[in-house]
């Protein structure tokens, strides 16, 4: 199942808001009264710097109500829970799947009750930070954060940065005082580097599998 990223413009999106409520029990007479327009951004988007919109392409998630062509509002700052719907990078392709946690293992499934087909997950600790440290030993014992596109928000933190109270998905400007005060090393994201190292690790996992 493939996906297309949509531009997330900082603009109001308003639609009519009907004063009359929709009954979930017995039907009641309809009304034409409109109270006001509402801004969908206020109700759908909680963390603007960490949010993007993606269009679904494929039918593997129809069992959980996600259809081909649907638009998904994705907040990268949220921590996924068991059976959460997530956007994951699998072999450099974005996919929407259901996260399944069983004991100490994590899998991705297509939301099927049987979950006969699963994708195993291997989590590298603070992966983007680890990639930066691999080529820069000077920062291995220092607090480090990596920023998102256009340096908008924090998307990877070292353990030292986490201990300072810097939150995942937090806008950079909000954490700037803590970062400056504690001399936190800050890096812009380098997706070419991260993609190459991710592919290298995947090859290692396949080799390990057949040893």
- Say what the pTM is: 0.47
DSSP-assigned letter for residue 164: T
- Who has greater pLDDT, 200 or 177? 177
CA distances to 1, 20, 66, 67, 93 from 4, in Å = 11, 36, 15, 14, 10
- Which residues of the chain are in CATH 2.10.109.10 domains? 2-120
pLDDT at 25 over 80: no
CATH class of 2-120: mainly beta
Q: Does the structure show a pLDDT above 90 at 166?
A: yes
CA distance 127 to 70: 30
Q: What is the pLDDT confidence band of residue 121, given thresholds at 50, 70 and 90?
A: low
Residues 211 and 197: their CA atoms lie apart, in Å, by 21
Residue 139 gets which letter from DSSP? G
pLDDT given at position 132? 94
What ranges make up the beta strands (E) of the chain? Answer: 2-6, 14-18, 34-39, 51-57, 71-75, 85-90, 93-102, 105-109, 119-120, 144-147, 154-157, 185-188
More confident residue, 62 or 207: 62
Handedness of CA 78, 81, 86, 91 (dihedral sign): positive
Q: Where in the chain is the domain with CATH 3.40.1170.60?
A: 127-205
pLDDT digits (tens, 9 = 90+) for 68-96: 888 888 888 888 888 888 888 766 567 88
Find the catalytic residue in 12, 97, 105, 130: 97
The one catalytic residue in 60, 109, 156, 189 is: 60
Tens of pLDDT, residue by residue over 169-196, are 899 999 999 999 999 999 999 988 888 8
Q: How many CA atoms lie within 13 A of 62 on its CB side?
A: 7
Distances (CA, A) of 71 to 5, 10, 66, 79: 10, 17, 9, 21
pLDDT band at 162 (very low <50, low <70, confident <90, very high): very high
Over residues 37-66, the mean pLDDT reads 80
Q: Are 18 and 33 in contact (CB under 8 A)?
A: yes
Catalytic annotation present for 97: yes
Give the domain 127-205 fold: MutS, DNA mismatch repair protein, domain I (3.40.1170)
Is 156 a residue of the active site? no
Burial class (CB in 10 A: 0-12, 13-18, 19+), 175: buried
Q: Do 151 and 191 form a contact (C-beta atoms < 8 A)?
A: no
Candidate from 40-49, 100-109, 116-125 with smallest mean pLDDT: 116-125
């Amino acid at each position: 199942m493939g996906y297309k990223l949509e531009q997330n413009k900082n603009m109001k999106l308003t639609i009519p808001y009907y004063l009359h409520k929709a009954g979930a029990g017995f039907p009641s007479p309809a009304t034409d009264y409109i109270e006001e327009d509402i801004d969908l951004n206020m109700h759908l988007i909680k963390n603007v710097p960490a949010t993007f919109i993606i269009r679904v392409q494929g039918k593997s998630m129809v069992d959980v109500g996600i259809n081909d062509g649907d638009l998904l509002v994705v907040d990268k700052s949220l921590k996924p829970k068991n059976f959460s719907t997530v956007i994951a990078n699998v072999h450099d392709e974005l996919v929407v799947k259901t996260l399944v946690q069983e004991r100490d293992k994590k899998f991705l499934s297509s939301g099927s009750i049987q979950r006969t087909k699963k994708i195993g997950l291997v989590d590298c600790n603070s992966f983007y930070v680890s990639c930066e440290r691999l080529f820069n030993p000077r920062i291995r014992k220092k607090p480090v954060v990596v920023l998102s596109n256009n340096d908008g928000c924090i998307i990877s933190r070292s353990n030292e940065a986490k201990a300072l109270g810097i939150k995942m998905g937090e806008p950079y400007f909000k954490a700037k005082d803590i970062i400056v005060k504690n001399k936190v090393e800050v890096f812009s994201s380098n997706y070419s580097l991260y993609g190459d190292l991710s592919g290298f690790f995947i090859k290692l996992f396949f080799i390990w599998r057949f040893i």
